[in-house]
Amino acid sequence: MNAAKTCWGIYRELEHSPGRIGDDAAILKRVGEALAERGFSVELVAADAADAAFETPRANIFAMCEGGAVLDRLKAAEKAGSVIVNSADAIRNTYRHRMIELFAQHHVSAPWSQVVATDASKLRPPAGVWVKRYDFHATQPDDVIYTASENGWHEALRRFAKRGIPFIVGQENVAGDLVKFYGVRNGVLRMDENWFEWFYHRDKGMVGHSFQASRLRQESFGAAAALGLEIFGGDAIIPADGEPVIIDLNAWPSYARYRDQAARAIADCLTERFRRRLRAVAPTQSDP
């Protein structure tokens, strides 16, 4: 098997795909098919069955997994010369405590947020606040709780402490319309040429504040760049002033509504990343 023309896709762990196991698997498979059409030989594997990918020198890997142990292995493979998209660091940067820090450093438009120890008797921030698990994105309903009272705040902290979760992120509520967005950050394209889609969340009431989609694109790509994500999606609020606020950013979402378009954009991005490395190390070898 020609390792340069082979690539591995790693599925998201089932426990990190609450309610989205089918959609998460479907986008990885669709990307695999699009890469096969582009001349790659593709292997799709579960995060706990990815030894062959990790043991192959200079492997081409695209990854939806998120757990700490497999990210350590991805990082080691990256250091040894494999190309990994999204990178292990970028995936880890979506852990909420890292994300809020990086958003602050890079001046991403995001709500006031703070990491708080769940055993602290800290006063709640003023007004409504979202209490979120500090590391992973929600894997169960109790991972994100809205509280509007002092009692609710302490009860939320107690619930996380009881589950053995030592920290939460407390985040200011942003009033406005919830929008979901999906993007692919292909480094050879300009930001305005990159694939990007957004839509209103069907289950949430909305007012319909007017805003410029180009501002949402700009903030979303800025947020993705701050974390180092190439394949990303997230949530934003459009407040009354029309200036988008990024409240959440995820590595490699399910892209459910736009699977075919997204798969093509992702496959283009991956082809570029895998071939660029090929050209760098073996300029005489023909591209796949």
Per CB under 6 A, residues contacting ligand ADP are: 111, 130, 132, 137-138, 144, 171-174, 178, 204, 235, 237, 247-248
Q: Name the binder of 174 from Mg ion, ligand ADP, none, CB < 5-8 A by kind.
A: ligand ADP
In sequence order, the β-bridge partners of residue 193 are: none
Q: Which residue is nearest to Mg ion (CB)?
A: 248
**Which residues between 209 and 238 bind Mg ion (CB under 5 A)?**
235
Residue 131: exposed, middle, or buried by beta-carbon count in 10 A (0-12, 13-18, 19+)? buried
Q: Considering the rule CB under 5 A, would residue 248 count as an interface residue with Mg ion?
A: yes
> Least distance to ligand ADP from the beta carbon of 72, Å?
23
In sequence order, the β-bridge partners of residue 43 are: 8
Buried residues in 190-208 as b, exposed as e (16+ CB within 10 A): ebeebbbbbeeeeeeeeee
Q: Name the binder of 264 from Mg ion, ligand ADP, none, CB < 5-8 A by kind.
A: none
Closest to Mg ion by CB, 219 or 248: 248
Q: Considering the rule CB under 5 A, would residue 256 count as an interface residue with Mg ion?
A: no
Query: Which of 283, 280, 271 lies closest to 189, judged by CA?
Result: 271
**Amino acid letter at 125?**
P
Neighbours of 173 (CB within 10 A): 17
Q: Considering the rule CB under 5 A, would residue 101 count as an interface residue with Mg ion?
A: no
Q: Name the binder of 178 from Mg ion, ligand ADP, none, CB < 5-8 A by kind.
A: ligand ADP
Give CA–CA dist 91/71, Å, rounded. 8
Closest to Mg ion by CB, 73 or 180: 180
Task: Decide if 213 contacts 263 (C-beta within 8 A).
Answer: no
Q: Name the binder of 130 from ligand ADP, Mg ion, none, CB < 5-8 A by kind.
A: ligand ADP
Closest to ligand ADP by CB, 229 or 278: 229
